[in-house]
Amino acid sequence: MVDLRVNVAGLELANPIMHGSGTFSTEIGQVIDINRLGAMVAKTVSRDFRSGNPPPRVAEVEGGMINSIGLPTKGLRHFLETQLPEYKHFKPPLICSVSAETADDFANMVADVSVPGVDAIELNISCPTRKPGGGNFALNEEHTHKVVAMCRARTEKPIWAKLSPNAGDVVGVAEAAAAGGANALTVANTILGLKIDVNRRRPSIGNKLGGLSGPGIKPIIMRMVYQCAKAVNIPIIGVGGIVKVEDVVEYLLAGATAVQVGYATFRNPTVMPALIDGLAAWCERNGVARVADLTGAMIDEAPADTYVAAGAALG
Ligand SMILES: Cc1cc2nc3c(=O)[nH]c(=O)nc-3n(C[C@H](O)[C@H](O)[C@H](O)COP(=O)(O)O)c2cc1C
């Protein structure tokens, strides 16, 4: 039997597959067995109630979807008093995702959610439609280092820093997050985009700009996971465009220890158990006894000389 267990910075997961923040809630338990998930990643919570962005909040595009939900939340108190006890009916570790406008409040939020029952804290420092200094810290190395270090000082829980694919130098930001004390990196949030409804000559979503997710972004995020895994010594959680088991394997080979899935769950709410079973079957077929052995196992040779390679191809 294949050993699907992985260890993300000291947190043991039964398998490497979990939803991305904002794409999971306990209602999914009506169609899947939540206890099969590697972990439960909660929707990002902010301190106070937020109504989110004006509708429409999502639009389909070729290769994925664009969204600007605007981080609606009933706030921290509701999370701690109502949502946390609901999550604790289930076995998988709980990852609490937090966001704030300032580094100070980010650190306070981290302290406030460092309660029993929360197994790790994901810092959503990368919401694509927020300002660089106000929620979208991961566009910049200095902001990232500062906010992660301030959060580090306020909790003993593992910190997963969720990076932004919109940063100019994502590797620099990854290094800054690791230096600030992150235990793992979630790579990555959505790519800022625009879709126009040509009949109405208006943006398709209410907030104008939104975050692109789905299969179209997968090679871009794959490249970032690969580069970040080479640059830092902490585990990476790959997220972007996974729709099938080979996508999961690809992320692991690129250097991820675990993966998150968002878009695919909108297309098929029962995709998660299919991916978990599919991963076990893929490993079985390919003689892989431990899924953890796939992490970073891409055969990584220097590109061949063009003429030598072309000659070899000709025989
Ligand atoms: C509808 C929707 C809501 C999301 N909400 C959040 C959120 O609250 N916090 C967060 O960190 N990421 C959020 N994300 C980003 C996802 O967690 C994930 O990083 C991104 O969608 C890329 O993965 P995918 O291509 O599998 O969808 C959201 C994505 C979608 C599609």
Tens of pLDDT, residue by residue over 25-45, are: 999 999 999 999 999 999 999
Residue 308 pLDDT: 87
Query: What are the residue ranges spanned by the domains of the chain?
Result: 6-53+69-193+214-314
Confirm or reject: Cβ of 214 under 6 Å from ligand 1: yes
Look up the pTM and report it.
0.97
pLDDT in tens, 246-255: 999 999 999 9
CA gyration radius for the chain? 19
* Best of 164, 213, 261 for a ligand 1 pocket test (most atoms within 8 Å of beta carbon): 213
Q: Which of 96, 127, 228, 283 is catalytic?
A: 127
Q: Point out which residues pair with 19 in neighbouring strands.
A: 261
Cis peptide before 188 (omega within 30 of 0): yes
Return the C-alpha torsion angle 91, 163, 276, 14, nearest 10. Answer: -40
Q: Is the pLDDT of residue 101 over 70?
A: yes
Confirm or reject: Cβ of 144 under 6 Å from ligand 1: no
Name every residue whose Cβ is closer than 8 Å to that of residue 105 and which is 6 or more positions away in sequence: 47
The rounded mean pLDDT for the chain is 96
pLDDT interval class at 132 (50, 70, 90): low
Mean predicted confidence (pLDDT) in 106-130 = 94
Q: Is the pLDDT of residue 23 over 90?
A: yes
* Best of 21, 207, 236 for a ligand 1 pocket test (most atoms within 8 Å of beta carbon): 21
Mean predicted confidence (pLDDT) in 117-123 = 98
Alpha carbon nearest to ligand 1 atom 14, residue: 22
Confirm or reject: Cβ of 22 under 6 Å from ligand 1: yes
Confirm or reject: Cβ of 68 under 6 Å from ligand 1: no
Residue 129 pLDDT: 74
Question: Beta strands 191-194 and 196-197: pairing type?
Answer: unpaired
Residue 303 pLDDT: 87
Closest CA to 90 of 177, 14, 193, 184: 14
Using CB atoms within 10 A of its CB, is residue 200 exposed (0-12), middle (13-18) or buried (19+)?
Answer: exposed
DSSP sequence for 214-260: SGGGHHHHHHHHHHHHHH-SS-EEEES---SHHHHHHHHHHT-SEEE
Residue 127 annotated to the active site: yes
Helix (H) or strand (E) segment spanning residue 279 = helix 271-285
Q: Which atom of ligand 1 is nearest to the CA of 186?
A: 19
Q: What is the CATH number of domain 6-53+69-193+214-314?
A: 3.20.20.70
Closest CA to 93 of 62, 121, 71: 121
Percent of the chain surpassing pLDDT 90: 92
Q: Which atom of ligand 1 is nearest to the CA of 239?
A: 23
Q: Is the pLDDT of residue 173 over 80?
A: yes
Mean predicted confidence (pLDDT) in 128-149 = 86
**Spatial distance between the Cα atoms of 15 and 291, rounded to a whole number of angstroms:** 8
**Spatial distance between the Cα atoms of 248 and 272, rounded to a whole number of angstroms:** 11
Region class of 63: left (phi > 0), else alpha (psi between -120 and 50), else beta: left
Percent of the chain surpassing pLDDT 70: 99
Q: Is the pLDDT of residue 315 over 80?
A: no
Q: Is the pLDDT of residue 134 over 90?
A: no
pLDDT in tens, 216-242: 999 999 999 999 999 999 999 999 999
pLDDT in tens, 190-216: 999 999 999 999 999 999 999 999 999
Residue 168 pLDDT: 94
Angle between helix axes 170-180 and 141-152 (nearest 10 degrees) is 20
209: tokens are: 């700009």
Q: Is the pLDDT of residue 167 over 90?
A: yes
Q: Residue 60 in 3-state DSSP?
A: strand
Name every residue whose Cβ is closer than 8 Å to that of residue 178 and which is 6 or more positions away in sequence: 185, 232, 233, 234
